[in-house]
Chains A and B, each alone.
Chain A
């Protein structure tokens, strides 16, 4: 069956047929039950007609009660089994839709999660992806309706038509002649209906806009004393909305009965000429059973064909949705996890003659050289917009670099994304939290205990005091935590997945100095054989670091804190300015 836990790979996800092919089993059930049900649908009116005939014959003494009981029993049995088939068909066609929706989403998501950040930001791909995900529902709905209607409309129309032609082909032709004009009229009116419907939609949008404006500027309008005139304007918007709503409903509502009436014109002929058939003066020789069967078959046929236009609508909608989804569908990406570099052993970091910049734009940092040994914490700082974040992003492949970054025996640019992720950890400005529990934000599916990491970032006690402890839900993007808590949780997550080289971009900007110092001392212990690159604009800790890279005017100066204080007037000035600021804050 289809309920396999591991996801199914769609072979050619950009083709809609692939999704039908994946669901052969449910579709087979749908096909068999659909044909049986729809063919069996004819049995209802047929047996009802037979029963009416039987009743007449009993009255005239030609048949007995026992025959009626048999007939009624057969009728019940047939209806029960036909409806049983209908259940099967309905259920499996919905399962097909459910499966397909899941497969499509899975493929889209796979493409999304493996897409680079750069691509996602370019041309609003992220928003398109989100839109496509919501399009999946409309698309699948259309596929489901199409599949259903292939049987419900296609097969059943044929079955009914066959029945009609079997009884009297002249009359069948005559009575069905009214359906095509009905379609024609429907097609003509459709333009009108959609025009009024879109006017209604527009007016609804205007009304909502006017409401929002009236409410959100209520106080502005009040202090300027123009609430009354705005209320009058709102009233005008309401009147317009009412008018449009009624017009749209009028046109949409009258369509269906009009359509039905045209196609039911055939009924007049059936009654008149069919009556002649019963009396033996018509084209065919009928009894009452044939008469009622023919009439009810025709009524159902007319009803079914009236619904066919709805089918076209939903298929059309599905096509539009699929048009948006299809370009985003890509073959399933299985990220390579081949590993050449051993990420479990401490490595050296050697940066020489490094230039860094955003892809496609000139380099903003030039000629940087420094190195770090396991156990060292290196600070990177400089004035605002000196490029320290860009330097950090070079380590995760987001910024381009020339020159060399050697991690152990490997040149960074030669590593695959997976290998890079095994050697380098990174924490950016945004905490990038998941809407899940605190513990899960640290574990990310791996088997580890979050407490030690929470303690390392001074979040242990606060978490313990929360009613649900580490199982506390952080909300979408971490909104239920304070800014400082979010930053510390993100740091805990980075440490829990920490590699040999850890790059932290301004991790302490949202915590107070005392906490900063405490976290730093724990970071020292944690990173005893790792290399930490601390990009920061707060310099209070820099005196304790093993080395400082000072970026200024696109150049870098590397040395210990003391060396730099002596060597660089700009660095010394930056330190002095901060110390002055801190003292002012304390008073």
Chain B
């Protein structure tokens, strides 16, 4: 076991140097090689096809200028080229989406796999909502980095380059003109983008205040009306709106001006091209009428992707923060996951043994100091002590959620932290202070999706705690969704006990579950616990239980 843990340590260090995201990306490409190739192929094909329609147009116009009639086939070819490039563009977008979805799927699987390896302390330090947002919004940011960012930018870059190449091929003069304009346009787009972002951030802050003011008003309506400061509140609201108004006005200005400027630049290029062509500098411009018409179309085609590249730089910037957070999460230090089948030495030693255990959640703050006790199989033991003395901590050590700093915690003579997760349900039934509902049906609350517990076992557990009748009154019995089942606080506690005993565990851990309940409900729960505890080793944190069951008392605290 020891050696194993060390190896893991080393492996982790090596991993740290490489970005987890890069690993996921490479993994996606290598397992879907055909798809990645297809995506690349379609993008290239689409770039190529986009060049076609103006070329066909050129031949048509040149033919007309020479006084030749248009072959119907040529007209159809123009239409075909248009249609093909339209569909290819759609295909390109679809492939990018598919690829992006594959990447995010893999990334989410990877994140999910991480959950298992995180130490228990991570969950107490971080809110579930924040962790969930790593999975949902940050991964979406990664997705947009690929789909709207890198891949789209590469495709747009290809488009610009290929169109420029064609322009150069057709006319060196126009090509030079375009080369001069391209960086100018890119710079302009970036400058606008930066200013827009700044006003958008200012606006978002102001909108936040505007939006917050409404629920705040509702919450404080009594104060507002008894002090009679409605006008003040309205002025305040107006002030926030004014802030947002000004920011919006600024961003509106940039928004209004940008696209017309781009059109004007493109008009300049077209005018310059026409004058150059007419000026007769053959070697520089040397274009026919058909080429001129085609080039007008091409100039438009350069400006479009240039605009979107500016947009994509923005996307990439905002996505990078999300990528960083995902990476951070994946690089969180991990616990060593107990693996391999541990022999269940049923009869060796006491059921539970604490051997000179020291423990603290953080360094320097000891919660347990030199704690030793043992519990024999079938015994009924209650822990007592002040709040914060470490009663619940004893349970967490037993369950292997935390390892002791010194000393040993043994379950059936096996290190508690070394018991594989899969064996835990047969070993422990843990009734927490509060019931944690899971997403699913009422039956799922008891089985926790364990296929080994069939309906019969589920009902047996429910009957034992006296919930069976109540569950049958629900619209769909055991299959009622938990969100629709109205359980009282006490019934939730009973459900929690049913969950704990459904897999017939050896040891029952009860964490002060009768707090905050009326005496009638409390009596029901104590009855349920009494029948649940029969034939099991029961460890509980409660002041009331020992009097009823005649168990032993262990004092925790120093």
Contact = CB atoms under 8 A, between A and B. Distances in A.
A261 B87 contact: yes
A118 B65 CA distance: 81
Contacts of A406: none
B436 A220 contact: yes
Interface in B206-263: 210-238, 241, 245, 248-249, 252-253, 255-257, 259-261, 263
Contact of A90 (B256, B277, B296): B256
Interface in B262-307: 263-264, 267-268, 270-272, 274-275, 277-280, 287-289, 292-293, 296
Interface in A201-229: 207-229
Given A223-B428, A264-B79, A272-B75, A249 B256 contact: no
Interface string A46-72: 001001111110110000010011011
Given A95-B249, A112-B217, A275-B64, A213 B439 contact: yes
Interface stretch (A127-135, A152-160, A356-364, A575-583): A127-135
Given A52-B292, A87-B260, A246-B97, A212 B79 contact: no
B90 interface: yes
A75 B222 contact: no
A332 to B, nearest CB: 10
B256 A261 contact: no
A130 B221 CA distance: 14
Contact of B115 (A227, A269, A418): A227
Interface stretch (A237-245, A453-461, A532-540, A558-566): A237-245
B543 to A, nearest CB: 18
A226 B270 CA distance: 68
A185 to B, nearest CB: 14
Q: Which of A212, A222, A250 has the most CB of B within 10 A?
A: A222
B148 to A, nearest CB: 13
Interface stretch (A98-106, A314-322, A371-379): A98-106
A214 B288 CA distance: 67
B108 interface: yes
Contacts, number: 343
Contacts of A222: 116, 120, 401, 421, 424
Contacts of B6: none
A110 B231 CA distance: 9
B439 A396 contact: no
Contact of B245 (A87, A102, A250): A102
Contacts of B135: 211, 215
A315 B219 CA distance: 33
Given A55-B274, A72-B274, A223-B401, A212 B132 contact: yes
Interface stretch (A165-173, A191-199, A347-355, A421-429): A421-429
B115 A215 contact: yes
Contacts of B104: 242
Contacts of B5: none
A249 B214 CA distance: 36
A65 B279 contact: yes
Given A218-B123, A421-B225, A231 B116 contact: yes
Nearest to B78: A271
A323 interface: no
Given A116-B225, A268-B78, A51 B274 contact: yes
B232 A444 contact: yes
Interface string B401-441: 10000000000000000001111110010101000101100
B324 to A, nearest CB: 20
A126 interface: yes
B555 interface: no
A515 to B, nearest CB: 22
A496 B465 CA distance: 57
Contact of A418 (B60, B210, B213, B228): B228
A497 interface: yes
Contact of A425 (B120, B216, B227, B399): B227
B550 interface: no
Given A79-B264, A83-B260, A268 B64 contact: no
A90 B94 CA distance: 32
Nearest to B67: A279
Nearest to B115: A218
A464 B86 CA distance: 68
A291 B292 CA distance: 14
B112 A231 contact: yes
B202 interface: no
A291 B223 CA distance: 73
Contact of A211 (B70, B74, B132): B132
A120 interface: yes
Contacts of A272: 70, 72, 75
B449 to A, nearest CB: 6
B87 A257 contact: yes
B234 A421 contact: no
Nearest to A89: B256
Given A72-B271, A134-B211, A126 B436 contact: no
A422 B226 CA distance: 9
B275 A214 contact: no
Contacts of B264: 79-80, 83
A261 B82 contact: yes
Contacts of A134: 211
B136 interface: yes
B263 A79 contact: yes
A98 B249 contact: yes
B227 A68 contact: no
Given A102-B241, A211-B135, A421-B225, A228 B424 contact: no
Contact of A52 (B61, B78, B83, B399): B61
Nearest to A243: B101
Given A91-B252, A444-B232, A288 B64 contact: yes
B182 interface: no
A304 interface: no
A477 interface: yes
Contacts of B229: 444-445
Q: Which of B226, B253, B424, B499 has the most CB of A within 10 A?
A: B226
Contacts of B448: 220-221, 224, 226
B292 A428 contact: no
B444 to A, nearest CB: 10
B5 to A, nearest CB: 18
Nearest to A86: B260
Contacts of B436: 216-217, 220
A297 to B, nearest CB: 14
Nearest to B215: A130
A146 interface: no
B260 A55 contact: no
Given A218-B123, A444-B227, A497-B227, A477 B216 contact: yes
Given A48-B296, A68-B278, A267-B82, A254 B263 contact: no
A250 B94 contact: yes
A114 interface: yes
21 contacts: A48-B270, A51-B292, A72-B274, A83-B263, A94-B248, A102-B241, A113-B217, A120-B221, A212-B129, A215-B115, A217-B436, A218-B123, A222-B120, A228-B421, A229-B450, A230-B449, A257-B87, A272-B75, A295-B57, A421-B225, A434-B216
- 4 nearest interchain CB pairs? A275-B70, A216-B128, A257-B86, A421-B228
Interface of A: 7, 44, 48, 51-56, 58-59, 65, 68-69, 71-73, 75-76, 79-80, 83-84, 86-88, 90-91, 94-95, 98, 102, 105-106, 109-110, 112-117, 120, 126, 129-130, 133-134, 207-231, 233-235, 238-239, 241-242, 245-246, 249-250, 253-254, 256-257, 260-261, 264-265, 267-269, 271-272, 275-276, 278-279, 281, 288, 291-292, 295, 335, 396, 398, 417-418, 421-422, 424-426, 428, 430, 432-435, 444-445, 476-477, 493, 497
Given A211-B135, A225-B420, 15 more contacts: A56-B289, A75-B270, A87-B257, A94-B248, A113-B234, A208-B136, A212-B128, A225-B422, A225-B425, A226-B425, A238-B109, A242-B101, A267-B75, A268-B79, A430-B222
